[in-house]
Amino acid sequence: MSKTEFTAVVPVAGTGTRLRPHTYTYPKVLLTVGDKPIIGHILDDLSAAGIKNVCLVVGYLGEKIREYVAKNYKGLAVTYIEQSEQKGLGHAIWLTRRAVAGPVVVMLGDTILDADLDVFLKSKDDCIAVKEVADPRRFGVVETKGGYISAMVEKPEHPKTNLAIVGIYSFHNSSALYNSLGRLVDSGRTTKGEIQFTDAMAAMVKEGHKIKPVPIDGWYDCGKPETLLETNRHILDKKKFSPKAKNSLIIPPVYISPTAKVTNSIVGPYASIGDGARIDSSIISDSIVNENASIVNMNLSGSLVGPSAAVAGRKDQLNVGENSEIRFDRTDCEA
Ligand code: UTP
C-alpha cells in the first residue's frame, strides 16, 4: 500500500479548557510552540511523510484554524468537517466517515511526535502508538499478547499495564473502524461523558481485529501550560535556531521570529518569540511569547504570553541613602 493513499484525520474541535485563558480567544492548535503553531508542526510531519490528503475536524474557533491552514499549507488537500458539539474524540472521528476512503492515519491535534511516521504507514498491520507512562489513569491503556493488543480501556481506575495510547493510529481498512464507531455512536454509550475512540477500537479487538502496539519515545503533549513549555524546550533543543537581536544577549536555545523586534534584552535559554512580537528591556527565559505580543521592562520565566497581549513592568526610581535596606519580596517580612 502506498503512503500517499493514506488520509490523515486530525481532530482539532476541542475547547482546550486546560489552556485557558489562552483558549478563550484562540484555538489550542494555533498556540505557538517552538517556531510555529502546534498544528503547523503536525501538518509539517504529515507532509514530510508524503501525505497529501488531510481531514481536519474543526469546531471551537474553527474559522481561525481554517484561515491559518489555507494560508500556510496550500500544498495539502485539506477537507474540513464540522463538529458543532464536542461529544468526544470517537464522535469527532466518526464524523469524517464520508470524507475518508481507504487507509487512514489519525493524529491528535494537541500532540507533537518525534517518531518515524513511516513505521505506521508502511506496516502491514494496523498500528497504535503507545508509551510507558508513570500514571496511565488519564490515558487509554492497552494490554498485549503475542505482539498484538489483547484489550484496551479508556482512563481505567486500576490500569493493568502502564502502556498508554499516545496519539497516532493507522488503519488500512478505514471502513472497519468507521463501522465500529458507528455502532458505538448508535448505542449512545459514553465513558466519562464522551464517545471515546478507545471504546470503538476496544470493540474491534474483542471481535478479533489485530492491532499492533508501536512503542514510541518522542511524544510531546501540548495540552497544559507546563507540558506546552516542556514541548517548547524539546523543539528548541532539537532545531537549534540562530536568532539575532539588537543590543541583546541571546542564551541558546532560543527562537526569535524574523518579524519580532527584540531590543536591550536578555533572551533565553528556552524562549520562543513569535511573529511581530516586541521585547524591550526585558529578561525572558523558559517562556513562549505569541505573535504580536509586547513585553517591556519585565523579567519572565515559565510564562505563556498570548497573541497581542501587552505586558509592561515598572521602572522604579530610587534615591537611596546610606545604610538603607530595600526589599521588594515580602517573603521575609514580618506580618
Ligand atoms: P482533549 O481531550 O485534549 O480535549 O482532546 P481539548 O478540548 O482539546 O482540551 P481540554 O481537555 O478541554 O483541555 C484531544 C484532541 O481531540 C480533539 C481536540 O481538539 C484535541 O485535538 N477533540 C476532542 C475533538 O476534536 N472533538 C472532541 O469532541 C474531543
- CA–CA separation, 198 and 305 (whole Å): 34
Relative to the CA of 85, which ligand 1 atom is closest? 28
Of the candidate CATH numbers 3.20.20.70, 3.40.50.300, 1.10.10.10, 2.160.10.10, the domain formed by 240-334 belongs to 2.160.10.10
pLDDT in tens, 18-72: 999 999 999 999 999 999 999 999 999 999 999 999 999 999 999 999 999 999 9
**pLDDT at residue 252 greater than cutoff 60:** yes
Task: Provide the pLDDT for residue 270.
Answer: 98
307 close to ligand 1 (CB < 6 Angstrom): no
31 close to ligand 1 (CB < 6 Angstrom): no
Relative to the CA of 110, which ligand 1 atom is closest? 21
**pLDDT at residue 201 greater than cutoff 80:** yes
Four-residue CA torsion sign, 116, 120, 122, 123 = positive
Q: Is the pTM of this model over 0.85?
A: yes
14 close to ligand 1 (CB < 6 Angstrom): yes
**Crossing angle of helices 62-72 and 38-48, rounded to 10°:** 40
Relative to the CA of 88, which ligand 1 atom is closest? 28
Peptide bond into 215 cis (omega under 30): no
- CA–CA separation, 335 and 327 (whole Å): 14
pLDDT in tens, 209-236: 999 999 998 899 999 999 999 999 999 9
Task: Provide the pLDDT for residue 217.
Answer: 85
Relative to the CA of 57, which ligand 1 atom is closest? 25
Task: Provide the pLDDT for residue 244.
Answer: 86
**Rounded average pLDDT over 177-190:** 96
Domain with CATH 2.160.10.10 in the chain: 240-334
- CA–CA separation, 218 and 291 (whole Å): 27
pLDDT in tens, 121-179: 999 999 999 999 999 998 999 999 999 999 999 999 999 999 999 989 999 999 999 99
Q: Grid coordinates representing 223?
A: 495540552
**pLDDT at residue 333 greater than cutoff 60:** no
What are the CB-based long-range contacts (under 8 Å, 24+) for 15-22?
15/60, 15/86, 16/60, 16/110, 16/223, 18/223, 18/224, 18/225, 19/223, 19/224, 19/225, 19/228, 21/306, 22/290, 22/304, 22/306
Domain with CATH 3.90.550.10 in the chain: 3-221
Of 113-122, 282-291, 294-303, 311-320, least confident by mean pLDDT is 311-320
**pLDDT at residue 335 greater than cutoff 60:** no
Instruction: Please give the share of the chain, as a percent, with pLDDT higher than 90.
Output: 83
Q: How confident is the model at residue 254 (pLDDT cuts 50, 70, 90)?
A: very high
How high is the mean pLDDT of the chain? 92
> Could you say which DSSP state residue 6 is in?
P
> Could you say which DSSP state residue 223 is in?
S
Ligand 1 centre from 92 Cα, in Å? 9
Task: Provide the pLDDT for residue 320.
Answer: 63
Task: Provide the pLDDT for residue 327.
Answer: 65
Identify the CATH class of 3-221.
alpha beta
SS3 assignment, position 35: coil
Ligand 1 centre from 12 Cα, in Å? 7
Ligand 1 centre from 73 Cα, in Å? 22
